[in-house]
Amino acid sequence: MPNSGVKYFEDGRWTSKEQTLEFRHTQAATMIKSGTVLDLGCGDGLFMTLLREKNVNTFGLDISEVAVNICREKKLAAQVFDFTSNELPYQEQSFDHVVMLDVLEHLYQPEKLLAEAARVAKEDIIFSVPNFNSLPARWQVLKGQVALNNKPNKGHVYWFNYEIIHTMLQKNGLVATDFRKHTFWENKFLLGGVMKFLLKMWPGLLALSFVIKAKKI
């Protein structure tokens, strides 16, 4: 897809809706205590706002001019940047933390951005991706439906699962220092405890998404 097509898609997305607070935002926020943060794919600035409330200095990049303008209206520092064709415009170790929340699955070559994030990060990178092989996704396919994460309105072009994440980290000289996941029904009385136990045993099957903190080996 041409870059203009991706930009058109993302501009349309941020024109029509705003982010809601999700597992990836809350978990990633707890992984950052201080320092400087580069938020890649910052969208409308929801995560940057969370960090601002913690007095953490954050700068955002996004391919969507609409999203960046929304950030600036919120007095957040952000600028337009096309992740699909350029290296990040920063020197090595420019930021303490580099964050990519549900960004990599939107790229045809996510390893390129992962490597760039590791290059400009001084301490660690934090990223989240949906689990495309989750049990609900498999069940939807068995019923002859298109799995939720694969529908066109999601804009996903790269499928991640538990094994792919570990392989990609290893290939790029990274090691996970914190690996969080969540599943369905985990907030249900009694059943929630069972689901959390099963999630530890079968993360590749039961996790809905992953939030990973990683550093260079």
What CATH number did the domain enclosing 10 receive? 3.40.50.150
Note whether residue 173 is domain-resident. yes
Note whether residue 86 is domain-resident. yes
Distances (CA, A) of 93 to 111, 120, 124, 139: 18, 4, 10, 43
**Model confidence pLDDT, tens digit, residues 159-187:** 999 999 999 999 999 999 999 999 999 98
Note whether residue 201 is domain-resident. no
Buried/exposed code over 180-206 (b: 16+ C-beta within 10 A; e: otherwise): bbbbbebeeeeeeeebeeebeeebbbb
Question: Residue 4 — pLDDT band, cuts 50, 70, 90?
Answer: low
Note whether residue 93 is domain-resident. yes
**Structure-token match 């045809």, residue found:** 108
Number of domains the chain contains:
1
Residue 128 structure tokens = 């989240």
Verdict on whether the full-model pTM lies above 0.85? yes
Domain assignment of residue 29, given as a range: 3-131+156-183+209-216
In this prediction, residues 100-117 reach a mean pLDDT of: 95
Note whether residue 190 is domain-resident. no
